Amino acid sequence: MRQEDHEKEEGDQMYRSGIKSLIRFTAVVALASLPVFSQTKAETGAQCTDCVPNEVIFQLGVPADLPAVASTYDLIPEPLGQVGTPPTYRMAVDTSRTSQTAEQIVSAMGSDNRISKAEVNRNLSAVERQGLSWTLGRSWAIGRSWAIGSSAKAYKRNWFENKIRLPQAHQISTGRGVTVAVLDTGIDLNHRAFEGRLVAGYDFVDDDSDPSEVGTYYTNPVYGHGTHVAGIVALTAPDAKIMPIRILDEDGVGNLWRVTAAIIWAAQNGADIVNVSFGYPDNPFLLEDLIDACDDGQTIDGKLFTELGNNRLMVVSAAGNGGNAVPIYPAGNRISPQIGVGSSNRYDKLSVFSTMNRGDVSGGDRFIRLVAPGEGIVSAIPGNRYATWSGTSMAAPVAAGVAALVKANEPGIGPEALVDRLDDTGVEWECFLTSRGYEIDTSRVDAFCALNNNQACGSNPGACQQNLSNER
């Protein structure tokens, strides 16, 4: 497909007033716990291509067993980090002592009753990154994106604003006093869309206090992803603060160690809501535990995360772009302080690329509880420009922005109640989706109903009719 040239808006002037002094990273050993995705089967042979080489993650019931465990599995004795109680350790394989891969070691740990939740340190990706086997992708290489170009005027007149009744909602709340952490590829700190709206963030890729995006147009297909996502939050909740946290590199790839550290950092530094527009098709045990603890500091089975401090977080996760019912994690986990978000289009129908669970999954236990506009969304991109992108990555920040409006209006509402509010006050979609051959049961976010706690916001039985969208 031919890559289209950018249409530079006349009169654009680069703002030079970006954040010059973000808070410096505090080296806390507790942050050094990696979230890792579980393997669906034990793998042997060559080193995996979608994980950090020669690293294993596991939970240990008795910390005093660590030296013996390290010796048994040929690990370097000093942990690379740990988190939680009982502790989860990140450790390196001693390649001078063994030729076993991390995957082989994880497989062997499965029969060791001293150890639980052993996994490799998986990589994860922005859900719009091209070339993934588990997503249709929505990058410039195959679809609508920032490569097409747009304008500041179009940004202020996004089609979705009226669809979710954002102008009416802004008469009640604009998000003042709430902070949304955007965990992504970083952002353009100097973009005018963020002027006066940023708080200090961090770069967990380069380990410094400058979370600016890194990359080149066309060379790095997801360059601009984080800026675009953050711009949607800024538009939806114009007085909320944005905390930019870079956890994905210029190719849209991160690892789960960074994610755990970033969520903890966001909690420790005052975030109220975390936007997660990335994922992986295997279930992340440690990330699942951490998100589970974001509402009260501990998991349902009692694991403590004192590293989160007293702040509580709602997590908004993009559903994935596989166009099927296969869950992408962490959105695929139904956890009380998290809401997974699919994508709707301007015709108020499910986007053809959006992951959406069947209505009868786990006896009706929906893992994607909400949809939000995610097609043809105009937002910011680096270089003080604006452009269009499509994907569940664009839907998630719409939901995160609406959550910020509610949180600002009701400061005492907790993460679990906030998740329920967005779900319960949306426009109900419950119908048979003929294009996929199964029932869906979800709701499309409505900002005005969310703010008024109107749990009779209406239904849209036509959501499952023929999809008229031209977005491909």
pLDDT tens digits, one per residue of 339-357: 999 999 999 999 998 999 9
Cβ-contact 25, 208 below 8 angstroms: yes
Instruction: Say whether 225 is catalytic.
Output: yes
249 is catalytic: no
Partnered with residue 317 across adjacent β-strands are 276, 340
CATH 3.40.1170.20 for the 29-123 domain, yes or no: no
3-state secondary structure at position 389 = strand
Fold classified for 125-464: Rossmann fold (3.40.50)
Alpha-carbon distance 332 to 335, whole Å?
9
Residue 86's closest CA among 329, 314, 289, 265?
289
Amino acid, single-letter form, for residue 253:
V
Q: What's the mean per-residue pLDDT of the chain?
A: 84
Q: Is the pLDDT of residue 421 over 50?
A: yes
DSSP string, 92-126: EB-TTT----HHHHHHHHTT-TTEEEEEEEEEEEE
Is residue 30's pLDDT more than 60? no
Catalytic residue among 170, 191, 225, 228: 225
pLDDT at 25 over 70: no
Q: What length is written for the chain?
A: 472
| Residue 158 CA from chain centroid, whole number | 22
* 263 pLDDT higher than 60: yes
pLDDT confidence of 21, banded at 50, 70, 90?
very low
Question: What's the pLDDT at 284?
Answer: 82
Does position 34 have pLDDT exceeding 70, yes or no? no
- pLDDT of 125 reads 67
Distance CA 378, CA 384 (A): 13
Residue 388, SS3 per DSSP: strand
The reported pLDDT for the residue numbered 281 is 83
Reported as a single tens digit per residue, the pLDDT across 439-454 is 999 999 999 999 999 9
What's the CA gap between 354 and 320, in Å, rounded? 6
pLDDT digits over 150-190, tens only? 688 999 999 999 999 999 999 999 999 999 999 999 999 99
- Residue 85: pLDDT over 80: yes
Does 393 qualify as catalytic in the annotation? yes
- The answer to whether domain 29-123 and domain 125-464 are alike in fold is no
Omega before residue 330 within 30° of 0, cis: yes
**Residue among 393, 424, 441, 446 flagged as catalytic:** 393
Give the residue-averaged pLDDT of 133-146.
38
pLDDT for 40 beyond 50? no
Please state the domain extents for the chain: 29-123, 125-464
CA distance 385 to 453: 36
- Please name the helix (run of DSSP H) or strand (run of DSSP E) that holds residue 255, with its range, or none: strand 253-255
- Of 370, 244, 379, give the one whose Cα is nearest residue 319: 370
What is the secondary structure of 362-379 as a DSSP string? Answer: GGT--SEEEEEE-SSEEE
pLDDT for 461 equals 87
Cα separation of the two ends of the chain: 13
- What does the alpha-carbon distance between residue 412 and residue 339 come to, in Å, rounded to a whole number? 19
Average pLDDT over residues 53-61: 96
Helices 392-409 and 225-236: crossing angle in degrees, nearest 10, is 30
Higher pLDDT, 471 or 35: 471
Distance between CA 26 and CA 207 in Å, rounded?
Answer: 11
Strand partners, 443: 370, 428
Q: Which residue has the higher pLDDT, 348 or 221?
A: 348
Going along 29-97, which residue ranges are E strands?
Answer: 51-60, 81-83, 88-92
- Which among 33, 125, 184, 441 is annotated as catalytic? 184
